[in-house]
Structure 1
Amino acid sequence: MVLPLTVALAAPAQAAASCTTQTGPYQKQVEKFLGRPVDGKQSPADCKAIQSFQKAHGITPSVGYAGPLTWQTMNTMLAQRAAGKTPNKAGACPTNKGRIACVDLTRQLSWIQDGAKLTYGPVPVRTGRDGAETRTGAKRVYHRNIKHWSTIYKVWMPYAQFFDGGQAFHSVEKSMYNPPGSGGCVNLRPADAKAYWNLLRNGDDVYVYGRKPGT
């Protein structure tokens, strides 16, 4: 039996997110970061590459526009790459404390060092958003819970290590570059959060400094 046309046709697939034709204010910088031809003019291929980056890191709207947030994210990544294996080259994190977890808000980087010796990292982190910034200064790990339940945000916080009034290192599944940031905690990728759990103990020092871009 031949079905009526209105029944036989399947519903159209959801349209893919549109790709903008607009040239963004950071077009050349974004093109260079993505390895695209640097001409400062938006092309369909440019847009698809930018859109893919935005979707990977939860940057919305993911329409392929080379705007401030997209470039800010890329610029943070460049700063992290430049840190290499000498994240404390400027000596901002204390080297006279023995084992210490350092958090650089400006570069969104963290690492563990013992004196001047790098023990783990540096690794990308996701810190507090504007209005809920991760507080700076000298801290200490004071409570650890391998599977903490947040009564405030109603989410699990695996490998939670608290160091300042409810702010903690803990694992999240999302991108470390997902805006606008955490509620104040220092988010880590699962493997990094597990490594921090194995390396740190109650009483260990934590030092937070700098300022997160956009806060």
Structure 2
Amino acid sequence: MRIRGMRRSVAALAALVTVGGCTAQAVDVNSGQSRPIRIDVTATPNGKQGGEKPAGDTQDGDKPGTTAPSTSSTPPATPAPPPRTLWSRGDKGRDIREVQARLRQVAWLYDGPTGEYDDLTVQAVRGFQGKRGLPPTGETDSVTWARLLKMTREPSKWELYAYGGQPAAAPDPRCMTGRVLCISKTSRTLRWMVGGRTLTTVDVRFGSQYTPTREGVFTVYFKSRHHVSTLYDTPMPYAMFFSGGQAVHYSSDFAARGYYGASHGCVNVRDEAKIAQLFAQVRNGDKVVVYW
């Protein structure tokens, strides 16, 4: 009876595991000797606990009886690099137009994109930075630019060039000989060309859909320095007529409103100094080409 009871005790002890940490003592049911075992309580991907591993087993070159170094420690965080300046006062180009167009979208800049990082742009960037807790330097650095990108959308071509400055389109082949006012509706520019060479380029504005500017090849037939429209009773300084009542002339409205307005069919120029130079150089009989 004593031996039979001892066998029951051994069987019970073999099934008993005390999980106090990573190891426990159990009795081998075959030899009756005790040996240490390691209990892996790490959850497996299917949610079940892992199986047993004898304490003497080693993996990856671990020495018996030692604990493998932890691989779950988080390395020290690398400090973020300081913001780098992308654009600042005095910079020019298409990228500056995009900065300005995006600032207009969030109502920090009201003037149209000019392509020049001027005082108004500095003030707008400084206000945008201060509102969001960034150093108000007025320079567009990498952090400011990333924040502005998140808050805005890609500007359309209209938004980028709403106030002009678009690169002039390639000259029409009909502009390559003689003395020509070469006018592109696509880029909204006028080239003054002589012998295929561009001497001057200016922004221009055209008529609305109800009073469109005619397209084709014309000639300058009449010039009037201080002209006033008999139809609309409005000034048309430096007028160079090429098709009926349509002329190339200076427009103070274009200078003030940009492309948010339109002419009654004429080709408006907003740079008074340049139109004055053109008026002095262009002669009656010079060619005018209006094209898309």
Report TM bin, short chain: 0.5 to 0.7
What amino acid is aligned across from residue 132 of structure 1 in structure 2? T
CA deviation profile, 1:145-201 (whole Å, cap 9, x unmatched):
111111111111111110001100111123352323100001112112211101101
Alignment partner of 1:47: what SS?
coil
Report which of the two structures shows the higher radius of gyration computed on alpha carbons: 2
What amino acid is aligned across from residue 198 of structure 1 in structure 2? A
* Inter-partner Cα distance in structure 2 for 1:161 and 1:133: 17
Matched, 1:135 2:214: yes
How far did residue 81 of structure 1 move?
A: 3.9
For the aligned residue pairs, the C-alpha RMSD in angstroms reads: 3.1
Partner of 1:82: 167
TM-score by length of 1: 0.62
2:166 and 2:188 in contact (8 A); partners too: no
1:126 and 1:181 in contact (8 A); partners too: yes
What amino acid is aligned across from residue 288 of structure 2 in structure 1? V
Misfit runs of 4+, over 6 Å: none
Partner of 2:286: 204
Q: Say which of 103, 108, 127 aligns to 1:48.
A: 108
Partner of 2:193: 113
* Inter-partner Cα distance in structure 2 for 1:158 and 1:196: 12
How far did residue 52 of structure 1 move?
A: 3.6
Higher relative contact order (CA 8 A, sep 6+): 1
* Inter-partner Cα distance in structure 1 for 2:96 and 2:210: 28
Q: Which ranges in structure 2 are unaligned for 5 or more consecutive residues?
A: 1-94, 114-151
TM-score by length of 2: 0.47
CA deviation profile, 1:15-47 (whole Å, cap 9, x unmatched):
xxxxxxxxxxxxxx999341758xxxx6xxx21
What amino acid is aligned across from residue 192 of structure 2 in structure 1? I
Partner of 1:187: 268
* Inter-partner Cα distance in structure 2 for 1:194 and 1:31: 28
* Inter-partner Cα distance in structure 1 for 2:228 and 2:166: 33
What amino acid is aligned across from residue 98 of structure 2 in structure 1? K
Q: Which ranges in structure 1 are unaligned for 5 or more consecutive residues?
A: 1-28, 55-65, 211-215
* Inter-partner Cα distance in structure 2 for 1:196 and 1:161: 10
Decide whether aligned partners of structure 1 residues 110 and 71 sit closer, same or farther in structure 2, where only a CA change above 3 A counts.
same
Alignment partner of 2:107: what SS?
helix
What amino acid is aligned across from residue 179 of structure 1 in structure 2? Y
* Inter-partner Cα distance in structure 2 for 1:159 and 1:99: 18
